[in-house]
Structure 1
């Protein structure tokens, strides 16, 4: 069974073709390649020299794709121990000096990430891909996620992106943030939220 590791490749940029290991499907759910590609087509060159926060990182495939395409610094956040091991292994294949990993509860660790961005007077793309709420113990994950977004200070936010179940309707307004668009890919959707000064 050892050889049946789940993997995915970095699509473009400096580390194109690097093979990333994925944690077991029971602990995390990997973003589909089509979602990933659409997201980076939307961002295009905006990702270059920007900061990127991947909340609920799993394998880190979104953050490492951003790094490969020229992002300046990536903040990874992951609670699951096995996923963290895989994440660190994947980061080691790229540029660990540009990556910071926060292990543990993302709803608590977001404060440390926000503080770090504030200290350097910078903003970031914040990509949030919570576990789907039908997983056991995850019933209130989306409520907590909405709360997390609402509490994000405007000065650290370039844009917020939520990857979520298509059956979940994201509110038009979460705190000061407004839904710009939602794109659907079967069971998964991406919703983009912007702050008032981006409108």
Structure 2
């Protein structure tokens, strides 16, 4: 499991915003892969003009590091979706300990959640377990299900050697590789009704 520089085992440190330096306690869950600190730093530099007041969805939340960084930097609300019960409990405990009442943890499978009633999000963090290759299906459900605001931004993390098949109206805004991880920020354009 990759950890933020300066964080002990079972911990991830928030790197910016009002919660900078705060430690997130991390559950010991199979396949949990926190987004590395340098990736989070780059991503939130990209998101800096958009994050304040945004409604965010941390799908496949895991440690919740991305959603917590968003709250730290002024997001209006973050919904964390995590199916592993221990990880979801750890997320809830971190929100309570850090007095973050704008975070909402949903202990659910991401696809079950996406079959529910949609409410559009401004920013979505899409970082499923790499071994399960869930990007394509999750992206299709986000797009088709009404989960994305008109000009939503979607952050996608994937292995360098694997390029997810994303909806045609998701336009690449920025991308970078860090070790074996490719992370990219897409901007949603309105879908062509003739497609």
Q: TM-score, normalised by structure 2?
A: 0.83
Match of 1:163 among 157, 167, 175: 157
Aligned residue-pair number: 182
Once residues 135 and 189 of structure 2 are traced to their aligned partners in structure 1, the CA distance between those partners, rounded to angstroms, is 23
Q: Which residue of 2 aligns with 1:174?
A: 167
Match of 1:127 among 113, 117, 125: 125
Match of 2:186 among 178, 181, 193: 193
Match of 2:102 among 92, 98, 116: 98
Q: For residue 123 of structure 2, give the secondary structure of its aligned residue in structure 1.
A: strand
Q: Determine if contact 1:159/1:195 at 8 Å carries over to the other structure.
A: yes
- 1:44 paired with 2:37, answer no
Once residues 22 and 156 of structure 1 are traced to their aligned partners in structure 2, the CA distance between those partners, rounded to angstroms, is 34
Q: Determine if contact 2:27/2:63 at 8 Å carries over to the other structure.
A: yes
Match of 2:19 among 15, 18, 21: 15
For residues 132-143 of structure 1, the aligned pairs below 5 Å read: 132-133=130-131, 138=132, 140-143=133-136
CA root-mean-square deviation: 2.1
Gap runs ≥5 in structure 1: 118-122
Once residues 42 and 28 of structure 1 are traced to their aligned partners in structure 2, the CA distance between those partners, rounded to angstroms, is 25
- 1:68 paired with 2:72, answer yes
The alpha carbon displacement at 1:182 in A equals 2.3
- Structure ranking higher in helix proportion: 1
Q: For residue 169 of structure 1, give the secondary structure of its aligned residue in structure 2.
A: coil
Q: Which residue of 2 aligns with 1:78?
A: 82
Q: Determine if contact 1:149/1:174 at 8 Å carries over to the other structure.
A: no
Once residues 93 and 184 of structure 2 are traced to their aligned partners in structure 1, the CA distance between those partners, rounded to angstroms, is 29
The alpha carbon displacement at 1:100 in A equals 1.3
Once residues 164 and 118 of structure 2 are traced to their aligned partners in structure 1, the CA distance between those partners, rounded to angstroms, is 26
The alpha carbon displacement at 1:111 in A equals 4.2
Once residues 107 and 175 of structure 1 are traced to their aligned partners in structure 2, the CA distance between those partners, rounded to angstroms, is 21
